Structure 1
């Protein structure tokens, strides 16, 4: 029959391509199923029938877009597909957005975005007929998890429901988490052999009006306490039921609250404390609804009413910490998180969170004032030593009479500075104000307490309240301020005074003896020495005779001759 009709269609297409007069192909002959393809990769069949004109389906929150795919029967030939497309093209339209996409058999159409709470109406054009498909995107994710915080938390009691129940077509209650007025999103399931469901709701406000709808359809009036008309649940995929509460006593800023219940046949419904699960039991949780914590497959509320208690996962209850701890993670002395006053957290390592509360830190460790935790000095910080001078309002006699004053002042000073007692040491004390007060000096050595930032930890009120004796003044001093250097000695002379005297005496002697030696002793010596001609004397005489004026020479010769003659006569 199919092959004969197909041959007739072939010849009719050649002769009369505009219309088919008889043996018109029926939709059931070619179309096997119509699928809604969600953007999360899930394809849900509509269970399409040629006689049914309208369809509706819900999508999870994380599926933001939807497309359409039409599958033909596997026995359809290529000729039949071509003739089908030529006769009446397959298409999908979105009238509200002016969109139209041509469909190819077996190929997914273009995706269309779907808004939460706003139904998306699509029209399928199949073989000359039009079918309506309404899609509603819910506020519930594909894992069954709702929004956090829940929208119902913003509403007063008069705007919420007091109860919400669902029953399937067999009269059995749907598998759903227990109802709470401040929880508006639910995931429920009915049995595989049940086809429909009814719901009943009761408002907290007796004057409130209730309405309900399925998959974004038309809102229908719902009588409080009475069941609704039956709603068909899809064989596959989701069916979304919504209940709207309208109360005249609501503030104008709030719109009517809408409760959403996602229904599925035979689906897994988690325990109300679970966000994801492997089964309906309390112990089948994979993730938890905040603020619950997943412990051993259970979602438990681990917050304890007191900081001195901790949650014991094995007993599932709060138990007291060890007496040495202020806060703890377990009941042992080594499970402390923070310590009481005058005790400091000593962790097992630098990165450990837990530790024991001790009265002092180990050597090389210092107390961090904020966390009260023993830590090694940071590499960028220098272990700086400075001094505190406390002016105690106590006389010297009273101070010396009380043997415990020194010890108590040291302990309370360390407590006020929030450091270990080993970081605060007694340095000295002095009498002040003519013996009516005492200067008490403390030596502080901690890299986390710097002397140049006293306003963060130095308050006279705190010290006045903590010390056993009144304190009038607190002064921060460095070592140079506590022990200022004395007067500097004059610089050493370049030379000692006796050297300067010797040099002066020597210089004066030289000034006196040199002229005497030169002008007296040398001349006297040369005057007593006979003349001895030496080397070069003849050249000198010849040079003098040569350069002397002849007249002078003549006069000298004459004079010499006269002297010689006189001498001879005598």
Structure 2
């Protein structure tokens, strides 16, 4: 049965199943945004196309193309074909390479640091012969390759620049599988017609997201599909902007990062003097900037831009080295670094350039602008044999809570002009602790409390002395006064007294009146 996959770019790919296999996968160019199915032969059973994840069911008529279905970038599309009572599964995935063989410009790998790229990538067919592929370069992530017609499959091997990086690979947008550096992968079957997509993913700590290399593979051709004219020995002419080198079409022949490939002249030309890397010769076509200059793109999504200092309100992102506005939910946090420098106060004051060099190297080590790192103060330490150097850092993308992401004592020791023994991160409250709260004012001044205490002590001392000494002494010196009516009181007491008691008192004391004290 003749079944074809129709692409929105006008190309058709014959679909082929072996008798024992009912599943098939295929890679598409990036400019193929929609696909459809066409069945040319008559069949007794019903014909239908189903898209399970989207809930679509379309009837097929012999010789007619079905309705087109959109294929999302980097997302496999599952199709089910009911052909005469037999169901076939087809998975299609869009690559990042166009049908002409051109990849995305600039290449995504050019925005990654060298440690996050591959050092090598090779492919061999089932006969052990190398696939026909452009020369590998770490900063190029998209390739077109081909194998012999009689080869059944292909294996790949890759090596990262970072020994600690993790490698994974997959086939036609399937499941990622672990790949050991330098060892070949398991075999992958190459489609009889159309493209087969092989991907290698590099995960390294030096970049936020992994870098993915893509190779689209086809059978039969002895030269790349990107060639505009081929001969027996390979490509004889290339589709711009590719350049013919020997018999291969390369994405660039420019050996230096300070030059770029000019499509109009088909040659390498120098970048603008303000750029280290660029996509064109203008001052706004920079991809990488020299020290103390940072990329200012025209928009947040633009890749290239001008190399300048950041404007007010913009900060340097340590990873991308781009001038960016601080996110609304991320405030610029000011904190301080205390560098314990192994230099005497005398030597520190004698060399006036030490202060400027420490500031500049500190900003470079933090990967931020020199405007974000300012001198705060310095103190003498170790009795004048050391210096505590305080820096003020203010950048919303560098938070003191995440210091383990950017703080490494070895890097600071290697970059600073004088040895550093310790680096301590301090917040504003840690550097300048709040003063203890003021005590409330007393109800009375201490002087008044002293006067009151002295007066109270005097009263407590003089009052008993007056009553128990002076008054008693005075009364002892005065005769006992007899008041009016006292004799009558004595007579009443005597009359009421028991005669027995009176008799005893008379005999023991003599005169009763004398006993009573009467003269």
TM-score with structure 2 setting the length: 0.46
Larger Rg, first or second structure (1 or 2): 1
TM-score with structure 1 setting the length: 0.42
